[in-house]
Structure 1
Amino acid sequence: MYDLIIRQAKSTDGSLMDIAIRDGKIAALGVPAHASARHVLDLHGKVYASAGWIDSHVHCYPKSPIYHDEADLIGVASGVTTVADAGSTGANDVDDFYQITRAAKTNVYAFLNIARTGIVTQNELADMAQIDKAAVRTAIEKNPGFIIGIKARMSSSVVGQNGIEPLVRAKEIQQENDDLPLMVHIGNNPPNLDEIADLLTSGDIITHCYNGKPNRILSPEGVLRDSVKRALGRGVRLDVGHGSASFSFEVAELAIRQGILPHTISSDIYCRNRISGPVHSLATVMSKFFSVGMTLPQVIDCVTSHAADALRLPAKGRLDVGADADLTLFELHHAPQVFIDSEGQSVKGESLLVPLAAVVAGVTLLTEEGKSAHVF
């Protein structure tokens, strides 16, 4: 007896599949017609199913004074089963953040800000005394399985006069804490992106990779900087981190045309850019990439298997027997769209991803669109 069987779900390659779930895990793929379950959900080949979408860059510590939101509003209510908060909290507040997230239906993880305060002010790394290695180690030891990486925001408004030094310290912290993934925010210089890229190693993540600022991954001639090319060769990953000021259609299109695709597509969402745009939701951000040359399978990989690999969550991101039973059920609507980037530029599109449900550990949670879709 299974807990749930999802029948006739559409895969991103167009084929149909049946998925059986038991005890919060995927128990079988391809289920005999006579198999029994407590609940059966027949999608009649009309709704896509993928591994649960993972947004690897969000801000959902509700007590943060600058970037805050509710995990379930940016998570399951938007078809997203897992989120990783990108440095909203440092060692001072991460214990409180952890306790708050235990009530969420969405799986919540955290990149710990190397500054003790997290993002309480915009310049948390302007004072090197904020970087307390002992406090970071203690926080990581107290929150295993919740803190899945560390975060350093390396732009001029954040580091002040400290230049590249906070990143040097971040790399030391990383090496002293089992080489946890390091996510590095890039923006206006100093420090220069070449300095940043040359310090990064395999598994590190450059977020805001398609920002339109002068200190971006493309040279003025529109080709990939040599330093970034070398970093990618070492296994550094590119993350979108759209946000309010960090995504340019022009840069993304130029890069993708040259084969410089993102490893992960993430939103950098918080309440203001969720409600007022230009982010709105992970699904909206994902949909923008159809307009710059990416396919549905490529886009879905960026929020499933690629994201799970980047965050080192081996039980998530794949529709495999034994994996966590986290799925996103969605439609792809074809109609004229207008998308806005962080520079205020608009691009016309023809496709929009519409999540209908998040399945978390085998429990189906409908989005608002799902409640009115008459599919379930």
Structure 2
Amino acid sequence: MKLLLKNCKLINGEDVDLLVENEMVQKVDKEFHLNEEDDIKVYDVSGSYVSKGWVDSHTHSSPLFLPYGDEADKCGYPTGVTTVIDAGSTGANAIDEFYNISKNSKTRVKAFLNISKIGLSKMDELSDIENVDFDLIEEKLKLYPEFIVGLKVRMSKSIVKDNGIDPLKLTLEYNKNKNLKVMVHIGNGPPKIEDILELLDKNCILSHYLNGKENSIIRESRILKEFESSLKKGVILDVGHGNASFSFNTGRIVKKNEIPLNLISTDIYKANRENGPVYSLAHVMTKFLYLGYSLKEIIDAVTVNPMKIFNLKENSDLTIFDIEDKEISLVDSHGEKVKYNKIITPKSVVLKGEFIQI
């Protein structure tokens, strides 16, 4: 079936009609002729913005380890997100089950593989280094090359305990000749953020980089030189908002220093989706409007950037959304509240060739 979306507004302001057919999207003339024999549905989106389908690059969309999990079809397409990437909820022990669950989701699902084989079945999954089994990781990477987008290593004191920086060192040594993406969670130290940053390379994704914790990229309102050095090496930046990892103050300092957006993501799971401060990817994107980023920068950080970084196949997924003039209160992970007068609101998606009203 073909879909014709009329009166779409692109991010550059262009007013177009879009034809969706066979996982392809093309602009068509406003006088595009419909043949009676064509199996085609027409939707007038009335001047709403239309972008590629949104990708949330950091979710906990596996339902296996509640409460720190969710369902892809609750944090996915009903919120304007057509692809969710689970950020290491599961390790090698449970990735088979998660893969089979994901096949029944309407939302597209990809996953980072937690380097600890037990994943988030325990919140200190790297306190026992015996949980890191690279032979088992290798086996699962070969089984699910299209599903697994990289490896996840969580580097907070409460997770690694006495193992310090060793889990990261082991992971990067394993990855030397593989060029997998390695998502590195940062939080409270030790290990110190400076020691983590010095190890990272162009295949690494620094997650939670806008947190406001003591062990952050900011010291006395200045950006660490080690952070600046990591950017020169090509390290990728992932927001990963979550319950404890996004600070308006850190965001303001980073914006002032003209550090570009790479990946805007939520670190969403059931509780922070229902009760905040995350709620949805659109809500997190609105916070970046507040910080002064352009709409193009924001949309690129949830579309073309993750598609490129994770080598996701081109598809016909689209997200249709408005920017509404509305007085709202926004709160970061540290309790700072701000007032803002706009909100990004998803209206519908095109997902796997289907138009879905939200």
* TM-score, scaled to structure 2: 0.96
8 Å contact from structure 1 (residues 269, 279) kept in 2: yes
In structure 2, the residue matched to 1:275 is: 274
Tell me the matched-pair count.
354
- 1:372 — aligned with what? none
Runs of 4+ displaced beyond 6 Å: none
State the match for 1:370 in structure 2: none
Deviation at 1:6, TM superposition (A): 1.2
Distance 1:102 1:273 in 2: 25
| 1:174-214 deviations in Å (ceiling 9; x for gaps) | 235x3111100000011111111111111311010100101
SS of 1:194's equivalent? helix
| Residue of structure 1 equivalent to 2:83 | 82
Give, in whole Å, the separation in 2 of the partners of 1:312 and 1:66: 30
Structure 1 match to 2:196: 196
Q: Following superposition of structure 1 onto structure 2, how do residues 125-144 of structure 1 map, counting pairs within 5 Å?
A: 125-144=126-145
**Contact map agreement 1:59 1:85 (CA 8 A) in 2:** yes
Distance in 1 between the 2:155 and 2:230 partners?
16
Residue 352 of structure 1: which of 343, 349, 352 is its match? Answer: 343
Partner in structure 2 of residue 239 of structure 1: 238
**Equivalent residue of 1:119, what SS?**
helix
> Residue deviations 1:263-316, cap 9 Å, x none?
110000000000110000000000011111112111111101112122221x3x
1:58 maps to amino acid: T
Q: Distance in 2 between matches of 1:202 and 1:218?
A: 21
Matched AA of 1:33: E
Rounded to whole Å, the distance in 2 between the matches of 1:340 and 1:280 is: 11
Q: Match of 1:205, as an amino acid?
A: I
Q: Which residue of structure 1 aligns with residue 41 of structure 2?
A: 39
Of the structure 1 ranges 28-37 and 234-243, higher mean CA displacement relative to structure 2 is found in 28-37
Deviation of 1:337 (Å) = 1.1
Tell me if 1:331 matches 2:333.
no
Q: Counterpart in 1 of 2:7? A: 8
Instruction: Indicate conservation of the 8 Å contact 1:240/1:265, yes or no.
Output: yes
Q: TM (normalized to structure 1)?
A: 0.92
The match for 1:30 is 28
What is the letter of the counterpart of residue 194 of structure 1?
E
| Residue pair 1:56, 1:311 contacting (<8 A) in 2 also | no
> Are positions 1:215 and 2:206 aligned together?
no
- Per-residue CA deviations over 1:200-229 (Å, capped at 9, x if unaligned) read 111311010100101111122x12111111
Unaligned runs of 5+ in 1: 316-322, 368-376
Whether the 8 Å contact between 2:261 and 2:298 is mirrored in structure 1 is no
- Secondary structure of 1:159's partner? helix
Letter aligned with residue 303 of structure 2: T
Amino acid across the alignment from 1:200: L
Find the aligned partners of 1:312 and 1:188 in 2 and give their Cα distance: 31
| 8 A Cα contact 2:261 2:297, kept in partner | no
* Structure 2 residue aligned with 1:151: 152
- Partner of 1:175, secondary structure, is coil
Stretches of structure 2 that go unaligned for 5 or more consecutive residues are none
- TM superposition shift of 1:85: 0.1
> Equivalents in 1 of 2:150, 2:320: separation in Å?
28
What fraction of aligned residue pairs are identical, expressed as a percent? 39
Maintained 8 Å contact 1:193/1:217:
yes
1:26-48, Cα deviation, whole Å (9 max, x unpaired): 2x22345233251111223x211
